[in-house]
Structure 1
Amino acid sequence: MGLTSRSLLYTVVFVAVLCVGLTVWLWPRLSGRGVLPVLGRLGAILTTQLTIMSAVLLAVNSAQSFYGTWGQLIGRYDRSPGQVTTATDLAGTGARVDTGKGGLVQPGAPEGLEKAGLPKGPPEQVGKMESIKIIGRRSQAAAPAFVYLPPQYFQKQYERQRFPVIVAITGYPGGTESLAQHLQVPKTASKLISENKMQPTVVVMLSPNIAMPRDTECVDVPGGPQSETFLTKDLPDALRSGYRVGHKASAWGALGYSSGGTCSLLLAMRQPDVYPAAAALSGDYKVGTDLTTGDLFGKGADERKRRQEHDLIWRLRNMPAPRATVLVTSSLHGEKNLKETKRFLDAVRPPMKADKMILPEGSHNFATWRREISPAMEWMGKQLVFPQDVNG
C-alpha cells in the first residue's frame, strides 16, 4: 500500500481503534501487581499511543502530501530533473524606481535577496536581484516582489533592448523568499541563461495573495480583493513603467507551484491576451473555497457561473478553447493531482496546446518542484518571443 493511499490510512485507523478497544477490555486483567502485569500495561499504552499517532500522522501527510512515497519518508529522494513531453498532438541599471505618490514600482525591503543564490560579481556579468513594491491602481493593492534581471540587461549592446518576462507565483501561504530560496528560481534562471538554454529573461517573483492572510487564489472576489485584476492589469502596467520589458503579450508567461500553479493556468486560460503561456508545478484544475479563502465567488444568481468559470476542465468542455500554451506536471506515485491532470490534458483542444512533465515519483513539496523548475523554465523560454521593439 502506498504511503498516501486511503487503504493504508483506513487500515491504521482500524488498528488504532482496535488497540484502544483491546486496552479497555484487557485492562482489568493487567491491573495486578508484579512484573508481567506492569509490562503488560506499559505495552498496551505504548501500542495504543503508537497506532493513534501513526493514524494522525498518516492523515496529515495524506492531506498535505509532505511525503509521497515510502522512499521519500526514509530520505531516498530522486533528484534527477524532469523531462517535458508533448501532451497534445498540436504542434538600464534596474528599475526606474519612482518614490513619489504616483510611482507604480517603489523600493521594497531587501530582506531575503541574499538567499537568491546568485554568483558574486558585477550585474553585467552575473545579473542582479531587486526588491520592489508593486502599486496597483485598479485593484488598490500593494504587493512586494523580487525581480531578477539577467546580465544582458546591464550590458552595453542591450541598453535599449526590452526583455521577455516570466511572472513566478508562489503557492499559499508562501512568499517571495520561497521562490528565491527554496524553489531557486533566480539561481535556475541564471544557470540556464549562462548555458544558452534560455534567452535573457526578466523574472518577477511574487505572491498572488494581495490580502494576506487570506488566500485569494487569483480571483476577483465580488466586493473584495481584486487579485486577478492586480496580476493581469496592474502588474504588467507597473513592470512596463519601471523596467525594459516587452509590451506585447507574446513576451509574457506565468509560472507557479501548488496554488500558484493553479493561478498560472487560470491566467493563461482566462486572460491569454496577457499571459499566453503558463507552467503549473503540481497545480489543481479548479478553485475551491475553504477557511483560508473565505467566500471567493459571492452570492446570488451569478455565484454558480463564477465558480464554474474557475473550473478549468469545465471551461475546456463548455467554453471556446483559449489560444494559450501550458505545461502541467504530476508524478505517477506520490502526487494527488495525477488523475485530474490526465482529465485536463484529455480536455485540451485547439487552438490551445499542452505539454506535460510526469515524474516517476514525487510529492507536493519543494524537493519535487526543484526537479521540475529547470526544465519548466527552459520550456517557458521557448514559448516567449524576444521583443523586437526597443526602448525609445
Structure 2
Amino acid sequence: MGLTSNKVLALAVLAALLLFVATIWWWPRLARGGVRAVAGRVGLLLATQLALFAVIALTANRAFLFYGSWADLFGQKQELGVVVDHSADRSHVRLVAKQQPGVPGGSRPAKAGQIHKVVIAGKQSRIDTPAYVYLPPEYFQAEHRRSTFPAVVVLTGYPGTAENLLKGLRYPKTAFELAAAGRMRPTILVMLRPTVAPPRDTECVDVPGGPQTETFFAKDVPQAVSGTYRVGTAARNWGFIGNSTGGYCALKIALHHPERFAAGAGLSAHYKAAEDPTTGDLFQGDDQERKRADLLWSLDHVPQGKTSFLVTSSRQGEHNLGETLEFIKRVKAPARVSSIMLDSGGHNYNTWRREIPPALEWLSGRLRP
C-alpha cells in the first residue's frame, strides 16, 4: 500500500478510532494507583496521540505531496537502476514505462493522451535523470501524425519529486482540460524535478567541477526530447515553468537562453540562487557567476532577448512580493513580462493549483508548433 493510498489513510483512521474507544473502555480500570496502572494510562494516551498525528500527517501529505512514497519518506532511492548505453549513437531518452493520464478516454491514447516515464541522458552535461513526458491525445490521432507540437519543461521545487507534478499539481489533467476547452494548444509536457544530483540542490547552476545543471536543462533536455518526440528545435517551440526553486530555474533558463526558450513562467519563484548546506559551494569563488545567478542583476547587466516572462506572487502570504515587483520593473524590450498577483496565497500547492491553469494558457499563447 502506497504512502498516499486511500487504504493507508483508512487504516490510520481506524487505528485512531479503536485506540480512542480502548482508552474510554479501559480508563476506569486504569484509574487506580500503582506503576502498572500509570504505565497503562501513559501508553494508551501516547498511542492514541500518535495515531491521531499519523492521520493528520497522512492527510496533509495527500494534499500537498511532500513525499510521494515510503522510500521518499525514509530517504531511500526511489528509482530502480536503469542501464544507459553511453556509446556515441545512443538514444538520449530511454522509455521505462507508459501510464494513463487519469482523464476521460482511459487507455486509448488518441482520446486521453499518454504519459511516458523516461530517463533523459544529457549529451553535454552527462547527467541522467528520470522524467515524465505527457503526450496529448492529438499526438496519437491519425490526422496529426505529421504534426509537430510545442513543449514545456515543468519543474517542481526542491527537493520535490516528479510525481508531484502529476498527482499534486495535476499538470497533465489541467493541460488536457484546457486543450479540450480550446484555451490551450495541445502541448507536450516534460516533467522533472530540479534535483538532478540528489540530494544536492544545484539551483540550475553549472557547478565548477560538479553537476552541469544549467547545461542539462537549457541544452540537453530540448535536444533529447526533440530527437525523440515530434517537437521542433526553435525557441518558439519551447517554454519553461516551475514552482519555487523550479520557478527560479524557469526564469533563469529563459532569461539566459532566449535562443532556446521563448517563454518562462516562475510560480512563487525566488530570484537569486540559494547558498546553504543543501547547495554547497555552487560558484567556487567565481563572483561573476554568483552575480549571473541573481536574476535582478542579470536583467540590468545581460542583454535581454525576445523572451516572455510570467511571474506570480500574492499580496498576503508570499515572501517574494517585493522581488517580483522589482523583476517586473527591470524587464525591458524586446523582452516582455506578465504577472499573476493573488490577494492572498501561501507558498503551497493550493496556491500553485490556482495559478497553473492561467499560466499554461499564457505559455500556450507564446509558443508555436
The alignment's TM-score, normalised by the length of structure 2, stands at 0.74
Q: Deviations over 1:306-351 (max 9, x none)?
A: 1111111111122322321000000010000001111111111111
Q: Name the amino acid aligned to 2:267.
A: L
CA contact (8 A) 1:117 1:181 kept: no
In the TM superposition, residue 99 of structure 1 has moved relative to its aligned partner by 7.5
Partner of 1:56: none
Aligned to 1:342: 325
CA contact 2:156–2:246 (8 Å) conserved in 1: yes
- In 2, Cα distance between the equivalents of 1:336 and 1:270? 24
CA distance, structure 1, for counterparts of residue 217 and residue 301 of structure 2? 25
Deviation of residue 107 (structure 1)?
2.2
Conserved? CA contact 2:305–2:335, under 8 Å: yes
Q: 2:301 is matched with which residue: 298, 315, 318?
A: 318
1:369 matched to 2:352? The reply is: yes
Corresponding residue for 2:24? none
- Percent identity between the aligned chains? 45
Farther-moved stretch of structure 1 (376-385 vs 230-239): 230-239
Equivalent residue in structure 1 for 2:212, among 223, 226, 231: 226
Assess, with a 3 A threshold, how the Cα gap between structure 1 residues 246 and 286 changes in structure 2: closer, same or farther.
same
Distance 1:203 1:318 in 2: 32
Give the structure 1 partner of residue 188 of structure 2: 202
- In 1, the alpha carbon distance for the partners of 2:199 and 2:108 equals 37
Q: Does 1:283 align with 2:266?
A: no
Tell me if structure 1 keeps the 8 A contact 2:149–2:368: no
SS at match of 2:269: coil
Preserved CA contact (<8 Å) 2:97 2:116: no
Contact 2:313 2:320 in 1 (8 A): yes
Matched, 1:118 2:106: no
The Cα shift of 1:100 comes to 5.5
Q: Residue by residue, what CA displacement relative to the aligned partner does 1:8-42 show, whole Å, maximum 9, x if unpaired?
A: xxxxxxxxxxxxxxxxxxxxxxxxxxxxxxxxxxx
Per-residue CA deviations over 1:331-387 (Å, capped at 9, x if unaligned) read: 01000000111111111111110000000110000010000000000100001012x
User: What's the Cα RMSD here?
Assistant: 1.6
Q: Could you say which residue in structure 2 is the equivalent of 1:108?
A: 96
1:38 counterpart residue number: none
1: CA distance, partners of 2:315 / 2:152: 28
Aligned to 2:148: 162
- The runs of 5 or more residues in structure 2 that have no matched partner are 1-59, 61-82
Which residue does 1:14 correspond to in 2? none
Q: Which amino acid aligns with 1:117?
A: G
Corresponding residue number in structure 2 for 1:11: none
Deviation track 1:22-74 (CA, whole Å, cap 9, x = no partner) reads xxxxxxxxxxxxxxxxxxxxxxxxxxxxxxxxxxxxxxxxxxxx9xxxxxxxx
Shift of 1:118: 2.6
**Equivalent residues in 2 for 1:353-368, closer than 5 Å:** 353-368=336-351
CA contact (8 A) 1:108 1:144 kept: no
SS in 2 for 1:244: coil
Q: Partner amino acid for 2:294?
A: D
1:352 partnered with 2:335: yes
Deviation at 1:274, TM superposition (A): 0.8
Deviations 1:277-316 (CA, angstroms, capped at 9, x unpaired)? 01110001111211111111112xxx11111111111111
Contact persistence 2:133–2:191 (CA under 8 A): yes
The answer as to whether partners of 1:289 and 1:295 remain within 8 angstroms in 2 is yes
* Aligned-residue offset at 1:108: 2.7
Aligned residue number for residue 180 of structure 1: 166
- How has the CA–CA distance of structure 1 residues 109 and 125 changed in structure 2, closer, same or farther, with 3 Å as cutoff? closer
TM-score normalised according to structure 1 size: 0.70
Give the structure with higher Rg (CA).
Answer: 1
CA distance in 2, matches of 1:325, 1:333: 26
Aligned pairs for 1:206-285 (under 5 A) are 206-285=192-271
